[in-house]
Amino acid sequence: MVISSKFSLKALAFGAFAAAVAFGQPAFAKDWKTVVVGMEGAYEPYNLTDPSGKIVGFEPDLLNDLCTRAKLTCKVIAQDWDGMIAGLQAGKFDVIMDGMSITDDRKKSIDFTQPYAQVPAAFAAAKSSVFAKLPQGGILNFDKDAKGANAALDGLRAALKGKTIGVQVSTTHATFADKHLKDVATVKEYKTTDERDLDLKAGRVDLVLDDLTAVQAMLAKPDAKDLQLVGPEFNGAEFGVGVGMGMRKADADLVAIFDKALAAAKADGSVKKYSLKWFKIDATP
């Protein structure tokens, strides 16, 4: 039987489409001109909502820079943190840019750009608390110095017995607390960092765990004068390898576009500039 060339071309095209779907890749690359980016607008100093309702911060500044380099029109929309990955997968937006750490667990469902920030996790508590006496020092990395990091963790666990620690839901900090601390302390999860920090200031939790820059932003507010950084700072393991932009696995071409722009922004010092402006430290990976 002779199969017409027209049928053969259709069959070939369908086969290519089916193979692309099976491997989670788009059959045809999208011609990206407009990109929608999801941010919480409530994770200072990464992103926050100003009195006019505009989302500002480190990530909006960096995003504007990257989109200019990539010749993209970028639109930012607000999205609750606990719905970030679901919103991305549902097509509500194309990119997550919300202080999201790159972890192996998250990479099972989405892809990431190269990291654009890396800071340790840190604790805050009342100046009058037992935690204020915990040893402080450099950053302890579970991947590079497991012995030192675990020794510091043991000291923290001893101090935490019977206490309550506050974390934001669906974060690396919640994952860390759940794995290492919930057998000695009560781990309380919050939808937003604002809700968590209010409970710390009111004494309803004993300490909180978050990104160092987020903790410092909270401590800089007038109503946090009785609080301070306490205990060790951690990197590695559950905290991932830095903060990156999250995208659908089918959008590898968009990941490549932003990776190229990020590499250029790191090379010319732009990432450092925005970091110093908002974090007061250079958090360039």
Q: Which domains does the chain have, with CATH numbers?
A: 21-118+241-279 (3.40.190.10), 121-239 (3.40.190.10)
Euclidean distance between CA atoms 47 and 202, whole angstroms? 25
Mean of the per-residue pLDDT values of the chain: 91
pLDDT > 90? residue 73: yes
- Comparing CA positions, the residue from 96, 91, 92 lying closest to residue 81 is 96
For position 76, what pLDDT does the model report?
98
Q: What percent of the chain has pLDDT over 70?
A: 90
Euclidean distance between CA atoms 135 and 232, whole angstroms? 7
128-136: long-range contacts, CB 8 A cutoff, minimum separation 24: 128/226, 129/206, 129/207, 129/230, 130/159, 131/159, 131/206, 131/207, 131/230, 131/231, 132/228, 132/230, 134/159, 134/230, 134/231, 134/232, 135/231, 135/232, 136/229, 136/230, 136/231, 136/232
pLDDT, tens digit, 9 for 90 and up, residues 208-251: 999 999 999 999 999 999 999 999 999 999 999 999 999 999 99
* Angstrom distances, CA of residue 158 to CA of 54, 125, 152, 174, 210: 43, 16, 10, 19, 20
* Angstrom distances, CA of residue 39 to CA of 36, 103, 181, 253, 272: 10, 19, 29, 21, 21
**H or E element, residue 96:** strand 95-96
Residue of higher predicted confidence among 18 and 110 = 110
| pLDDT level of residue 29 (50, 70, 90 thresholds) | low
* Statement: the pTM of the whole predicted model exceeds 0.95: no
Euclidean distance between CA atoms 52 and 39, whole angstroms? 16
Tokens, residue 147: 């012995």
Average pLDDT over residues 47-67: 97
